Amino acid sequence: MGEFDYTDLLPLGADETEYRLITTEGVRKVEAAGRTFLEVEPEALRLLTETAIHDISHFLRTSHLAQLRKIVDDPESSGNDRFVALDLLKNASISAGGVLPMCQDTGTAIVMGKRGRHVLTDGRDAEHVSRGVYDAYTRLNLRYSQMAPLNMWEEKNTGDNLPAQIELYAEDPHGHPDEYKLLFMAKGGGSANKSFLYQETKAVLNEKRMLAFLEEKIRSLGTAACPPYHLAIVVGGTSAEYALKTAKYASARYLDSIPTEGSPSGHGFRDLEMEAKVFELTQKLGIGAQFGGKYFCHDVRVIRLPRHGASCPVAIAVSCSADRQALAKITPEGVFLEQLETDPARFLPETTDEHLSDDVVQVDLNRPMPEILVQLTKYPVKTRLSLTGPLVVARDIAHAKIAELLDNGGEMPEYLKNHAVYYAGPAKTPDGYASGSFGPTTAGRMDSYVGRFQAAGGSMVMLAKGNRSKQVTEACEQHGGFYLGSIGGPAARLAQDCIKKVELLEYPELGMEAVWKIEVVDFPAFIVVDDKGDDFFTDRTGPVLSIGRR
pLDDT in tens, 222-249: 888 999 999 999 999 999 999 999 999 9
d(CA 123, CA 549): 57
CB 204 within 8 A of CB 275: no
The pTM score is 0.88
pLDDT in tens, 457-497: 999 999 999 889 999 999 999 999 999 998 888 899 999 99
Burial degree of 431 (CB within 10 A; 0-12, 13-18, 19+): exposed
Are both 126 and 241 inside the same structural domain? no
pLDDT at position 19: 98
Are both 250 and 120 inside the same structural domain? no
pLDDT at position 290: 87
Are both 219 and 280 inside the same structural domain? yes
DSSP category for residue 225: T
pLDDT at position 512: 79
Res 350 pLDDT > 90:
no
Categorize the per-residue pLDDT at 216 as very low, low, confident or very high, splitting at 50, 70 and 90.
Answer: very high
CATH number of the domain within which 429 lies: 3.20.130.10
Percent of residues, the chain, with pLDDT higher than 70: 96
pLDDT at position 354: 46
The whole domain housing 477 covers 361-529
| Domain assignment of residue 6, yes or no | no
d(CA 266, CA 304): 10
Q: Look at residues 373, 370, 217, 368 and name the one whose alpha carbon lies nearest to residue 300.
A: 217
pLDDT at position 546: 47
- Amino acid letter for position 257: S
What mean pLDDT value characterizes the chain?
93
Categorize the per-residue pLDDT at 1 as very low, low, confident or very high, splitting at 50, 70 and 90.
Answer: confident
β-strands 312-319, 165-170 pairing:
unpaired
CB 277 within 8 A of CB 548: no
Are both 175 and 64 inside the same structural domain? yes
Start-to-end CA distance of the chain, whole Å, equals: 41
| Domain assignment of residue 536, yes or no | no
Are both 331 and 388 inside the same structural domain? no
pLDDT at position 40: 98
Are both 36 and 49 inside the same structural domain? yes
Are both 142 and 248 inside the same structural domain? no
Q: Look at residues 537, 90, 97 and name the one whose alpha carbon lies nearest to residue 356.
A: 90
Categorize the per-residue pLDDT at 357 as very low, low, confident or very high, splitting at 50, 70 and 90.
Answer: very low
| Domain assignment of residue 251, yes or no | yes
pLDDT in tens, 81-101: 998 999 999 999 999 999 999
CB 75 within 8 A of CB 69: no
pLDDT at position 540: 54
Total domains in the fold of the chain: 3
Rounded to an integer, the average pLDDT of 290-312 is 96
Q: Look at residues 373, 358, 419 and name the one whose alpha carbon lies nearest to residue 393.
A: 419
Are both 289 and 365 inside the same structural domain? no
pLDDT in tens, 139-198: 999 999 999 999 999 999 999 999 999 999 999 988 899 999 999 999 999 999 999 999
Contact partners, residue 141, CB within 8 Å, separation at least 6: 99, 100, 101, 427, 428, 429, 430, 436, 437
Res 548 pLDDT > 60:
no
Contact partners, residue 448, CB within 8 Å, separation at least 6: 471
Are both 136 and 219 inside the same structural domain? no
pLDDT at position 549: 42
Q: Look at residues 201, 383, 355 and name the one whose alpha carbon lies nearest to residue 291.
A: 383
pLDDT at position 224: 87
| Domain assignment of residue 267, yes or no | yes
| Domain assignment of residue 401, yes or no | yes
Contact partners, residue 227, CB within 8 Å, separation at least 6: 287, 288, 289, 290, 295, 296, 297, 318, 320, 321, 488
- Amino acid letter for position 444: G
Categorize the per-residue pLDDT at 545 as very low, low, confident or very high, splitting at 50, 70 and 90.
Answer: low
Res 418 pLDDT > 80:
yes
| Domain assignment of residue 5, yes or no | no
Q: Look at residues 36, 40, 60 and name the one whose alpha carbon lies nearest to residue 48.
A: 40
Are both 383 and 342 inside the same structural domain? no
Rounded to an integer, the average pLDDT of 311-338 is 97
pLDDT in tens, 10-26: 999 999 999 999 999 99
| Domain assignment of residue 545, yes or no | no
Are both 249 and 370 inside the same structural domain? no
| Domain assignment of residue 145, yes or no | yes
Are both 474 and 489 inside the same structural domain? yes
